Amino acid sequence: MQVRVPEGPGHAGVLPKTPIFGKNRRRNTSAVVRYMHSDGRERTILIDCGKTFYESALTWFVAHRLRRIDAVLITHGHADAMLGLDDLRQWTIGGADRSVQDHIDVYLSCAAMDVVARAFPYLVDKKKATGGGEVPSLRFHQFDGPEMGGKLAPFWIEEMEVVPLEVEHGKDSHGVFMSLGFKFGDLSYISDASLIPEPTRALVKGCKVLVVDALHYGMHSSHLSIDEAVKECSELVAPGGEAYLIGFSHRVDHAKLEAELGDNLALRKANVSAWPAYDGLRVKL
């Protein structure tokens, strides 16, 4: 069920009502990649930990029986991608008898690390913690820093190769703001982008599954529009592949967009199946 917002400046759109699993109920964009390690235990990699992460985890970690977080990947230093890092304390505090794990590895760029250090100094240096001092136990790895070779390049999280995908995400006071997507084998994930540069398009082209930013129908300074995202899907996804649009605003109705994607001639010609993603969606590769 959904309720229509009165038409007018700043009011047009669709608001979620009930049930709580309605596909128009949207939190900050995030994803979990799971794979089976050679030791027989599935690994869980979280992409982004934004300001609504904890609420999402209470719903979807339970629904999909997720518990341990083996690594976190941060796409960029905006609130929707990293403001929930403090909530990771629920996994690491309480000692061996109550915590899920003793630490969580967080992988991010040097630029994003600078933002995290300013927003959460006590996460980077526990000496800066106040009060009881119980803070998340996080180990930060800057994948374009000295630890990882000093440049943006593929790296490994245990047995999973991660290929950073550099994309433009609008502009800030310093010029073009760069965000990151990630490629895992035949899956490419790009959550926050206004433009996908040619070198990145070359890395993505031919993927079997593309998850891509698509804010709304009109142009936007820091996000791909739905039309732009559809064009990228038709050009980058291998024939017979799949695409999932993410990050759209509440002015976009899920069912309407789903129907439009099903009828899209460019996608049909490219033999690419595309859907709007929704909170809790599970895709098996």
Under 8 Å between Cβ of 33 and 160: yes
Q: What is the pLDDT of residue 13?
A: 56
pLDDT single digits (tens) 194-233: 999 999 999 999 999 999 999 999 888 899 999 999 999 9
Q: What is the pLDDT of residue 20?
A: 55
| Structural domain boundaries, residue 240 | 159-285
The residue among 98, 123, 151 that closes a domain is 151
- Average pLDDT, stretch 153-174? 93
The residue among 151, 175, 209 that closes a domain is 151
- Strand, coil or helix: what is 225? coil
Q: Is residue 56 part of a domain?
A: yes
Total structural domains within the chain = 2
CA distance to 48, 113, 180, 184, per residue, from 285 (Å): 20, 31, 22, 11
Same domain, 178 and 145: no
CB-CB neighbours of 57 under 10 Å:
21
The residue among 117, 151, 185 that closes a domain is 151
DSSP secondary structure letter of residue 25:
-
Half-sphere exposure of 274 (CA within 13 A, CB side): 36
State the pLDDT confidence band at 19, using cuts at 50, 70 and 90: low
Under 8 Å between Cβ of 195 and 171: no
Buried b (16+ CB within 10 A) or exposed e, 236-254: bbbeebbbbbbbbebebbb
- Those residues whose C-beta lies under 8 Å from the C-beta of residue 101, and which sit 6 or more positions away, are 68, 69, 91, 92
Q: What is the pLDDT of residue 25?
A: 87
User: What does the block give as tokens for 208?
Assistant: 């079997």
Lowest-confidence segment of 47-61, 130-144, 186-200, 265-279 by average pLDDT: 130-144
Question: For residue 198, how far is the Cα from the chain centroid?
Answer: 21
Of 50, 28, 29, 76, the residue nearest 176 (C-alpha): 76
Backbone dihedral angles phi then psi of residue 37, each to the nearest 5 degrees: -80, 155
- CATH code at position 80: 3.60.15.10
Q: What is the pLDDT of residue 5?
A: 42
Same domain, 142 and 165: no
pLDDT single digits (tens) 96-142: 788 999 999 999 999 999 999 999 999 999 888 887 768 999 999 99
